[in-house]
């Protein structure tokens, strides 16, 4: 593997393996989980297992926070002395300020950088980073990589059926009216990302129908998908069972299981399940 002339930056909502991060020297900017007056760096000071255990035992729901512009500027100063250029790919700017902080940091430090708003998060965000790194490894230039990855946000898909409408409501992810209606009618909802925003795409009568609805979305897109993942928030058994069914239904797609990291998990709640992919 040749030495990179590009510094790769993303944030902690991207589901990249520790091995990939280390191998390619990825700079991962942590977002924050806040329980009461205590703040934790996502995946640094609190991982998914500890987070979901803590979430199950607290009465007050946690809050989340983005990295400060100052933190991002310090990172870009560090990068400037080591690399010629930066490519940063961040979670949707509609839900976190990591993207805008990176833009500001590049401007303040005068680093030559391309900052991409992935318009999504989690697994598709991680796959965008992996794809970009693979392009460089194959010999593509900075400009060629930038041109290619600009097309990726339109190909990302992420569907979730939240474990807690209360957490979504308090986090501002659905309106109060939608939350109340869904609760009163004992309905389940499916969320999807549309141009960077998390929207309520479907209301169904049962959890089983929510799973079916998400599977239907994959059916529509299946010819453009080589790899997909079942996402869960402290719900491994259901994710494992669903993965087995999906592998039978879609034998040409490779499936994995991804645990939702603490920051998005704080908004969707324990028990959340979903389906995600980055199309070809």
* Domain range list for the chain: 6-31+66-151, 155-278
CA distance 279 to 15: 17
> What integer pLDDT is reported at residue 67 of this predicted model?
87
Amino acid 198: pLDDT: 87
* Nearest of 105, 37, 35 to residue 67 by alpha carbon: 105
Task: Confirm if 31 and 43 have CB atoms less than 8 A apart.
Answer: no
213 close to 245: Cβ distance less than 8 angstroms:
no
10-residue stretch averages of pLDDT, the chain, 280 residues long? 80 95 95 94 94 90 90 95 94 91 95 96 97 96 97 97 76 58 73 88 91 98 97 96 98 97 91 96
pLDDT for the residue 237? 97
Question: What DSSP designation does 46 have?
Answer: B
Count of Cβ atoms closer than 10 Å to residue 241 Cβ = 11
Does CATH place domain 155-278 in 3.30.70.270?
Answer: no
CA distance 155 to 277: 8
Q: In terms of DSSP bridges, do strands 188-194 and 197-204 run parallel, antiparallel, or are they unpaired?
A: antiparallel
Annotation: CATH topology of 6-31+66-151 = Rossmann fold (3.40.50)
Q: How far apart are CA 55 and CA 49, in angstroms?
A: 10
The 3-state DSSP class for residue 153 equals: helix
The pLDDT assigned to 148 comes to 98
């Amino acid at each position: 593997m040749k030495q990179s002339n590009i510094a790769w930056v993303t944030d902690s909502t991207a589901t990249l393996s520790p091995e990939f991060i280390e191998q390619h020297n990825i700079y991962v900017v942590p977002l924050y989980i806040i329980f009461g007056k205590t703040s934790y760096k996502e995946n640094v000071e609190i991982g998914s297992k500890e987070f979901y255990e803590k979430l199950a035992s607290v009465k007050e729901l946690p809050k989340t926070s983005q990295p400060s512009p100052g933190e991002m500027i310090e990172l870009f100063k560090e990068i400037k002395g080591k690399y010629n250029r930066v490519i940063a790919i961040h979670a949707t700017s509609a839900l976190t300020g990591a993207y805008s902080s990176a833009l500001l940091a590049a401007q303040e430090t005068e680093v030559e950088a391309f900052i991409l708003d992935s318009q999504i998060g989690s697994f598709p965000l991680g796959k965008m980073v992996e794809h970009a790194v693979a392009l460089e490894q194959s010999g593509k230039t900075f400009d060629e990589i930038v041109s290619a990855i600009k097309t990726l946000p339109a190909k990302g898909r992420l569907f979730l059926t939240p474990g807690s409408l209360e957490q979504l409501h308090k986090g501002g992810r659905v309106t109060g009216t939608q939350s109340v209606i869904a609760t009163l009618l004992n309905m389940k909802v499916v969320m999807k990302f549309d141009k960077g925003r998390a929207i309520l795409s479907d209301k169904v009568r049962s959890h089983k129908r929510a799973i079916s609805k998400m599977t239907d979305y994959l059916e529509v897109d299946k010819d453009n998908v080589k790899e997909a993942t079942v996402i869960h928030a402290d719900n491994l058994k259901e994710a494992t069972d669903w993965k087995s069914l999906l592998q039978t239904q879609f034998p040409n797609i490779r499936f994995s299981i991804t645990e939702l990291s603490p920051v998005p998990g704080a908004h969707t709640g324990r028990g959340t399940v979903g389906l995600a992919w980055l199309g070809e």
